[in-house]
Amino acid sequence: MITRDGYGIPAVVADSEEQAWFELGRACAEDRLWQLEYDRRRARGRLAEVVGAGALPADRLARRLRLTDAADNDVAAMDARTLATFEQYAAGINSYVAEHGTPAEFERGGIGWEPWTPQDSVLAFKIRHVLMGVWQYKIARAVLRARAGAEAAAKLDPRPLPGMRVTVPPLDRIPDSDPRAELLERARADVEAAAGHLGFLAESEGGSNAWVLGASRTATGKPLLANDSHRALDAPNTYWQARLTCPAFTVSGATFPGIPGFPHFGHNGRVGWAITNAAGDAQDLFVEQFRGERVRTADGWRPASVRDERIRVRGGEDHVERCWLTPNGPVVHGDPRDGAALSMRWTATDGPCEQFGVLRRMLLADSVHALLDAQDGWVDPLNNLVAADVDGHIGYLLRGRLPARGSLAATQVPVPGWQREHHWRGLVPFAEMPRTEDPPEDIIVTANNTVTADERPFVSHARNDCYRVERIHELAAASGPATLADMRTWQGDTRSVAARRWAELLAGRGPFSGEAEKARAVLVAGEGDLGPSSETGLVHACFRREVAQRVLDRELGEGTRSWLMTCGLPGMPVVLRRWFATLTWPRDGVWPAQELDDDLLVDALAAGWQRATEAGLVPWGEVHATAARHPLHPVVGTEFDPPQAGIGGDNETIQNGAYGWSPGASFDITNLSVYRQVLDLAELGASGWVVPGGASGRPGTDHYADQLGVWQRHGLVPMHPEVTRAGE
């Protein structure tokens, strides 16, 4: 049986586990059938059939990645129970379509329905994570190195710095003498040796917060767990809320449409969990050399696997994509017929992933310890998993598998595929992944910051989101016994530690004159609060862009800076914002920004004020807004696009709202919270959740965007409305 609450969120109650997954599939088809189709077409490289030539580059990449092959391997490796779960879920989807047909998007897209399969579920999961990996940042760094030189690349290298917080142990920071320093320098030497193979690249960009407070820090004496996942805003929203009850288990949480499980967020009545992106490095890029259809290896020239795939293009001619497979993995960039290309090795496609059995084990776990143990076998994505249970325990695990590497050069940039020292030496064992349970500090915070300062396992070359985790710890330190309402307030916090440091710096300079003084006064008075109802956020954003431009012009030259801000490489905005964050991070007691002279600051302040004036000098929330586009936007225009909502904050505040770097560009939000959750382990019925959209993916229906206003106000929709209201 499927029932729905006042927000259209489904609740499934079934007499058997098999029936539960079947009914969840039906509910998903009713709410998100077009999204299911969109995801599997992206993964299979068939989106151009629907929207035309604009999707051809993405289809070509999907074909090159061979995600369909990987999904086939994963399904073949499933145990009988897991396979039955995926089959029942698929049967539920197909049953709904057989009875009710397809929504308007299918007719407008010019396509019909093809039966859903377990492979499609796996593909829907993989496509939402392949582009969240680190390979794009490696390309960005490599292209920067090839284009601007090693010195420029080193200046923008966003490596973790002494004093930045780590997640394990909970209150520790990276020491002045970083134990990984020797490894990093060895990696840098490896990169120097590999640099000669990177020249051709010059021809060629997700976030989240999650924290858990233990019993000693809460008003109830039981844990509180809060999270918000940061991604680009899809239409419909990435996550789908659901409740599921059967004799084997009960679960409430958010899942991806198409996935029979709750891998990221939820609770099962005894244990609650949430994740953030760990940016663990499980994707290596290799420079490959080719002679015809032979590829250079450590053992000489060997045949590469080659096949041609036809891509249909709506309103255009078919495209034939030649897909290459090397011993290191599929070719993802470049044309081997030119003699060189890039291949990628990724744990999620390197061999059959047996991880989907973990989904059921999570639902059966009765404690934090059992939930963390249940993750053995999970491969990708690499997540920071935090958990709490009704008995008062809390815990953390870096979930997933990391390659065991001899050389760390590949953690930074592409490396020669024929050199044996860059090859993987297996995987890091589950028992060696960072983990903690019931730490004496009684708090665990993860906000895309560095996981651990330990030398091994080496999680990632660079992870520099240092200010959100800093702010969460500030709030926790200043708080008395915390409540569920406090967690909701923290999730809406718009005070930026970085912006506050700029305000402190400017408070000690000047007074200046004219427009520079007007900007300085606003920033100083704002004290780093980038709320939606004042002009501080707009002035800070404009000043931020202008000062970044001027510092980069000095350091790298105007030409390189202009290219950095406009090149379009998906990883480059992340490289830039992590570099900018270091300007206000103390090194030996001094912030680099403190060494900027008044002339540069005056110039940037005046230019920032002019930009803010051109934008109307309005409250930040009037120009800093969501800008989601439906996948059929290229075909139907704005007809299916959801409404916009203005918010405060930026990428460095807990209330996340990233935007681009180019001076004068709009402040449309590029990354934001796509699912918020607060779990009260003293009374799970009082818990809440919200998405910036709605349960339904059908444009124009009552529940397409009915949670957007609640989300904008930092409210929560009741996770269990029959028990209590979480508060709007």
The answer to whether 198 touches 145, Cβ cutoff 8 Å, is yes
| CA 186 to chain CA centroid, nearest Å | 29
121, 208, 673, 696: the catalytic one is 208
Q: Which residues pair with 287 in a beta bridge?
A: 342, 416
Q: Which residues pair with 573 in a beta bridge?
A: none
CA-CA-CA-CA dihedral for 516, 669, 241, 2, to nearest 10: 130
**What is the C-alpha separation between 166 and 136, in angstroms, rounded?**
24
Write phi, then psi, for 500 (nearest 5 degrees): -65, -35
Unique residue bearing structure tokens 């028990």? 723
Task: Give the β-pairing of 283-291 and 415-416.
Answer: parallel
DSSP 603: H
Q: List the alpha helices (DSSP H) in 407-466.
A: none
**What is the C-alpha separation between 623 and 712, in angstroms, rounded?**
14
- Per-residue DSSP letters for 140-196? HHHHHHHHH-HHHHHHT-----TT-BBSSSTT-B--SS-TTHHHHHHHHHHHHHHGG
Convert 230-260 to b/e letters by CB count within 10 Å (16 or more is b): bbebbbbbbbbbbbbbbeebbbbbbbbbbbb
Whole-Å CA distances, 687 to 475, 655, 683, 715? 21, 19, 7, 12
Of the candidates 448, 263, 429, 425, which has an alpha carbon nearest to the alpha carbon of residue 345?
A: 425
Residue 151: CB atoms within 10 A of its CB come to 10
Of the candidates 349, 419, 353, 345, which has an alpha carbon nearest to the alpha carbon of residue 138?
A: 345
Unique residue bearing structure tokens 């002494």? 162
Give the SS3 label for residue 28.
helix
Q: Is 513 a catalytic residue?
A: no
**What is the C-alpha separation between 343 and 332, in angstroms, rounded?**
5
**Spatial CB neighbours of 151, under 8 Å, sequence gap ≥ 6:** none
Unique residue bearing structure tokens 């801000």? 565
**What is the C-alpha separation between 62 and 42, in angstroms, rounded?**
7
H/E run at residue 51: helix 48-51
Per-residue tokens: 589:
């007691």
Whole-Å CA distances, 33 to 197, 350, 367, 630? 45, 30, 35, 14
Of the candidates 5, 214, 241, 361, which has an alpha carbon nearest to the alpha carbon of residue 682?
A: 214
Unique residue bearing structure tokens 């051709």? 200
**What is the C-alpha separation between 74 and 359, in angstroms, rounded?**
14
**What is the C-alpha separation between 530 and 536, in angstroms, rounded?**
6
- Enzyme catalytic residues: 208
